[in-house]
């Protein structure tokens, strides 16, 4: 099958959606399918051979985060050329209502379209206001996927219709087989705690973890916090209590290999996110590596942790409650081992061998009778004529 996958967010600073798109494409390539990814990226960004860049993206604040998006007439022409050259059996667009190449691809699509919705935002005034303008394009979507029940509710609330829930995927073996790194391996006297995320993005929750650490250090003076992710390290360090700053090591951006080794090494992984999460891919990565997980009790996280059976949760934004759980777990090796094993077993539900099969089932459904779908889409809309008419205007 010829599969075209559109990622609206830039590959310059990878996030959950980018990892999902990358891993899904590589899984299908490994099965012998043709898969091509279209995404924004700077010229100097190293990209896999199957990824085509539409150029540099612009940072835009949205849903408590910063998304790097690409839009405009030149970008539209690139999208159109990619679609024509790809001659895809199915076009899989991620976050199709994002003002980016995702929406441009949807406007220009002429064949079977599958859309995956990642965002959880039940109070989005922007989506409510945009719906009347987006409705004609949304009707071109033949199959809808939501990565979680929270994302599905966002779709049904703001866009109408429904979506099948297929979670984000993880290559469980990649994390399970990673060897621990002595630099990050904890001991009874000096246990290690990991945090992964953008350090200057408040909703990722680093301030919550920082608020918990004085109590943790009082009970476990040798504890270390290992922080992996982009952001202004000096500004983040200045906001920390001096004792917490001394116990914290900022690792910056880490490679996929180092991330797997880090999660395989630490005594506890903490996900103190405060909101805006529709799934929790990093939880599954930690669980795959066998790290016991402590996460805020966001509904999406609770579902990933199987109601608390595959990890423990604390009251959202409550540093004292987080401290209580960390003090207990760091002092109880047997409980950490039990939670780590429970999490690892739960992670297999999200392995790409399961998730990609469900996605392919959606592809098969929407491409059945594709000749009829293409015939119906053959009548040019205004946007189709406009976008495709620009192809000859750019080198």
Fold classified for 2-169+351-393: Rossmann fold (3.40.50)
Identify the segments of the chain with pLDDT beneath 70.
59-70, 121-133, 369-395
pLDDT, tens only, 57-96: 776 665 555 566 667 788 889 999 999 999 999 999 999 9
The pTM (predicted TM-score) of the whole model is 0.82
Strands (E), the chain: 2-6, 34-39, 51-53, 58-62, 65-69, 90-94, 113-117, 143-146, 164-165, 192-196, 224-228, 248-252, 268-271, 293-296, 312-314
Fold classified for 173-350: Rossmann fold (3.40.50)
pLDDT, tens only, 193-209: 999 998 988 899 999 99
Residue 242 and residue 47: Cα distance in Å, rounded? 40
Tell whether the torsion through CA atoms of 104, 21, 144 and 66 is positive or negative. negative
CATH 3.40.50.2000 location in the chain? 2-169+351-393, 173-350
pLDDT at 372 (0 to 100): 55
Helix, strand, coil percentages for the chain (3-state, nearest 5) = 45, 15, 35
Three-state secondary structure of 44-110: CCCCCCCEEECCCCEEEEECCEEEEECCCHHHHHHHHHHHHHHCCCEEEEECCCCCCHHHHHHHHCC
């Amino acid at each position: 099958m010829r599969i075209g996958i559109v990622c609206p967010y830039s590959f310059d600073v990878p996030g959950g959606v980018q990892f999902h798109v990358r891993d899904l494409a590589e899984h299908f390539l490994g099965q012998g399918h043709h898969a091509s990814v279209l995404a924004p990226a700077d010229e100097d960004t190293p990209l896999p051979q199957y990824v085509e860049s539409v150029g540099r993206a612009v940072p835009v604040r949205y849903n408590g985060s910063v998304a790097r998006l690409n839009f405009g007439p030149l970008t539209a022409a690139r999208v159109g050329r990619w679609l024509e050259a790809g001659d895809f059996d199915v076009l899989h667009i991620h976050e199709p209502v994002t003002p980016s190449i995702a929406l441009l691809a949807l406007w220009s699509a002429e064949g079977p379209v599958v859309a995956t919705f990642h965002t959880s935002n039940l109070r989005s005034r922007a989506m409510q206001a945009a719906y009347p303008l987006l409705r004609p394009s949304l009707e071109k979507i033949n199959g809808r996927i939501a990565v979680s029940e929270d994302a599905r509710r966002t779709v049904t609330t703001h866009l109408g219709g429904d979506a099948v829930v297929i979670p984000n995927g993880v290559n469980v073996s990649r994390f399970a087989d990673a060897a621990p790194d002595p630099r990050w391996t904890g001991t009874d006297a000096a246990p290690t705690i990991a945090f992964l995320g953008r350090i200057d993005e408040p909703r990722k929750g680093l301030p919550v973890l920082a608020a918990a650490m004085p109590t943790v250090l009082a009970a476990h003076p040798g504890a270390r916090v290992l922080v992996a992710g982009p952001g202004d390290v000096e500004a983040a360090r200045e906001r920390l209590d001096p004792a917490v700053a001394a116990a914290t090591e900022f690792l910056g951006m880490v490679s996929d290999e180092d991330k797997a080794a880090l999660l395989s090494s630490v005594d506890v992984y903490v996900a103190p996110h405060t909101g805006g999460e529709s799934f929790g891919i990093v939880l599954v990565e930690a669980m795959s590596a066998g790290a016991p997980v402590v996460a805020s009790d966001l509904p999406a996280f609770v579902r990933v942790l199987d109601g608390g059976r595959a990890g423990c949760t604390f009251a959202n934004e409550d540093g004292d409650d987080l401290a209580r759980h960390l003090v207990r777990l760091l002092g109880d090796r047997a409980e950490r081992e039990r939670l780590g094993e429970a999490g690892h077993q739960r992670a297999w539900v999200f392995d790409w061998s399961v998730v990609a099969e469900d996605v392919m089932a959606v592809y098969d459904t929407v491409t059945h009778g594709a000749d009829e779908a293409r015939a119906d889409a053959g009548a040019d809309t205004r946007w189709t004529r406009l976008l495709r008419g620009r192809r000859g205007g750019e080198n």
